[in-house]
């Protein structure tokens, strides 16, 4: 009988075994605890990644198993602000790789890491690559941001045209996203614009300088935040959920070509 659950933490071990047998995709949210200005909670990155991963899972519950999240990430450049917690990149690689290899050991053939924190990206990419190598290609693993979809990009550009190519940190997009989910936890009255002026510091910079954040901003915000709203956030969340659910479906449907050793 098919398992009618999609959150791994709520399953029993026989239910998890059955979900694996159904060929489902394992989804592993990952984020960070770090400062997000005076207006946003410290859990912004992991809260958004986890919540959007879960909501997307609810749209295709027979295709995925949402794994309990990787809460802590790599954020040494934010350590001048109280509350930021950072993991050494090698420690994080080893830890997250232990998790993905555990999932592979239980039989998952496809694993998707859904990231919510920029500086996790190179670390998680290495985890995904190593997962494939360590399982000799028997488990496919990939990493992407929860907002990496055409649906999300279109809505974000429509709602925030002034920020196209100029998104920063704890800005209107992140603030609106959080407001779209938990407006009661956002203290918008404490936020002030801190416009991005240096093209080497942009989130989309081709030549980014990852210097200490305290040298960029006194309060931890980098970018425009004054255009934040709950209404915009709800639209962003809906687009992110829709787009991520389509990624789940596409990865689930993908037939992986076999490895060929040409020795």
Mean pLDDT value of segment 79-85: 97
pLDDT over 70 percentage in the chain: 95
- Provide the token pair at 25: 């995709």
pTM for the predicted model, two decimal places: 0.95
163 three-state secondary structure: helix
Q: Give pLDDT tens digits for 95-146.
A: 999 999 999 999 999 999 999 999 999 999 999 999 999 999 999 999 999 9
Using alpha carbons, list the distances in angstroms from residue 86 to 41, 146, 210, 217.
Answer: 16, 21, 15, 19
Arithmetic mean of pLDDT over the chain: 93
**What was the pLDDT predicted at 203?**
64
Q: What is the pLDDT of residue 163?
A: 76
Residue 53 is predicted with a pLDDT of: 98
How many other C-beta atoms can be found within 10 angstroms of the C-beta atom of residue 4?
8
Q: Does residue 222 register a pLDDT over 90?
A: no
CATH number for the region 8-253 comes to 3.40.50.10310
Of residues 206 and 22, more confidence is placed in 22
**Cα distance between residue 109 and residue 103, in whole Å:** 9
What's the CA gap between 180 and 177, in Å, rounded? 5
Cα–Cα distance measured from residue 187 to residue 197, given in angstroms and rounded to the nearest whole number: 25
pLDDT in tens, 148-203: 999 999 999 999 987 776 677 899 999 999 999 999 999 999 999 887 777 666 66
The answer for 90, left when phi > 0, alpha when psi is -120 to 50, beta otherwise, is alpha
- pLDDT score for 240: 97
pLDDT at 99: 98
Return the pLDDT at 164. Answer: 72
How confident is the model at residue 202, as a pLDDT?
65
- CA proximity to 247, closest of 129, 131, 147, 159: 147
């Amino acid at each position: 009988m098919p398992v009618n659950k999609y959150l791994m933490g709520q399953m029993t071990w026989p239910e998890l075994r059955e979900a694996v047998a159904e060929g489902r995709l394992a989804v592993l949210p990952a984020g960070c605890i770090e400062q997000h200005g005076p207006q946003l909670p410290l859990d912004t990155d992991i809260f958004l990644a986890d919540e959007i991963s879960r909501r997307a899972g609810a749209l295709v519950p027979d295709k995925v198993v949402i794994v309990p999240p990787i809460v802590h990430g790599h954020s040494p450049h934010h350590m001048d602000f109280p509350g930021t917690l950072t993991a050494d990149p090698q420690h994080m690689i080893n830890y997250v790789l232990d998790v993905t290899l555990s999932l592979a050991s239980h039989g998952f053939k496809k694993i998707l890491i859904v990231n919510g924190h920029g500086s996790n990206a190179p670390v998680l990419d290495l985890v995904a690559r190593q997962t494939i190598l360590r399982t000799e290609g028997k488990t496919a693993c990939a990493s992407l941001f929860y907002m990496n979809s055409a649906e999300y990009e279109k809505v974000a550009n429509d709602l925030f045209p002034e920020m196209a190519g100029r998104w920063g940190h704890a800005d209107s997009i992140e603030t609106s996203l959080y407001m779209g989910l938990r407006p009661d936890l956002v203290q918008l009255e404490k936020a002030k614009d801190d416009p991005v002026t240096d093209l080497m510091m942009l989130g989309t910079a081709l030549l980014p300088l990852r210097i200490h954040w305290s040298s960029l901003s006194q309060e931890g915000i980098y970018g425009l935040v004054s255009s934040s709203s709950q209404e915009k956030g709800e639209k962003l969340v809906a687009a992110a959920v829709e787009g991520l659910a389509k990624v789940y479906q596409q990865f689930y449907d993908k037939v992986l070509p076999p490895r060929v050793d040409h020795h």
